[in-house]
Amino acid sequence: MKRLHTVPDTAAPGARVDRYLSDELQISRAKLKALFEAGLVRIDGRRVPKGALVPPGARIEIELPDEPTQGALQPEPEQPLAVLYEDTALVVLDKPAGVPAHALDASDRGSLAGALIARYPECAWASPDAPFEGGIAHRLDTETSGVILAARTPQTYQALRERFACRRIEKRYAALVGGLPTERGEIALPIAHHPTDPKRMVACADEALQARLKAREALTRYTLQAWHADDFALLDVEIPTGVRHQIRVHLASIGAPIAGDRLYGGPAIDGLERHFLHARHIALDHPSTGKRIEIEAPLPRDLTDVLERLAHGATR
């Protein structure tokens, strides 16, 4: 929703635009900060920073997102938020393991989206068709840690979704698996929801099964990084596609399930409380500038501890 305001010719010169708008239009400072950072305030047709001065007679245009309806996702300022990168269009976060990326409904608490909109309120309006996502443009399983992208404007959110659909965003993961995979490989099995277990997905080699279960195309590539004790292998994994549980299902399908992944038969390691899967790298052409950006999330301490213990031959 656009809101227009013309500064009276009799107004005193030299007022800052953020203070002027706060006083004249009764817009909160938190909302104004978000609007300026998203480039949604213009004076005489030009985007301006919050410290710009307002001349008498100026025409101010503000693009206000629709207010959240009752029952919308609530901000959770008490939740921690690790920011890897930010600009006026994007926020890139390092999601901790055990935290869901999205809320399921308005009453849901403890999601990354709730923490995100507490610090970046404009993200609450960035994904209007997915109000509980808070502008987060893709998914990571709850127990998967690492890089995740969020949009600060609806235009950026749409651009990110289109880039994911066209496989123009590079996503790389670190995965520790049991078994003996080849040094590199590619898995191109379609994936569907399991016909009897709603928690699981299934890789479908049979064409009739693919059709019956409405399997989605999925492509996973991996490269061996290191061997570890007791036949564990650390892999670098790339997924051009994005299907639920894709890496976990594909690696299990070749006899190399992810360590700690009880749902898909992964081997246990003492001290590992979740599956060993971390979104370590994402690269994309910036949706506003076209400039290539690459973001890395370091391996978290619980996973580096596992690798150190494997190096000393202590696993289970």
User: Which position among 18, 94, 141, 261 bears the catalytic label?
Assistant: 141
For 257, other C-beta atoms within 10 Å of its C-beta total 23
Q: Give the dihedral of Cα atoms 65, 71, 77, 80; nearest 10 deg.
A: -100
Q: Which tokens belong to 125?
A: 């309006």
Going from the C-alpha of 53 to that of each of 12, 45, 56, the distances in angstroms are: 11, 14, 10
3-state secondary structure of 47: strand
Please choose, from the candidates 92, 192, 109, the residue with its C-alpha nearest in 3D space to the C-alpha of residue 152: 92
Q: Pairing relation of β-strands 83-86 and 46-47?
A: unpaired
Q: Respond yes or no: is residue 108 known to be catalytic.
A: no
| Longest Cα separation, the chain | 80
**Rounded to an integer, what distance in angstroms lies between the CA atom of residue 104 and that of residue 93?**
20
Any idea which residues carry the catalytic annotation? Answer: 141
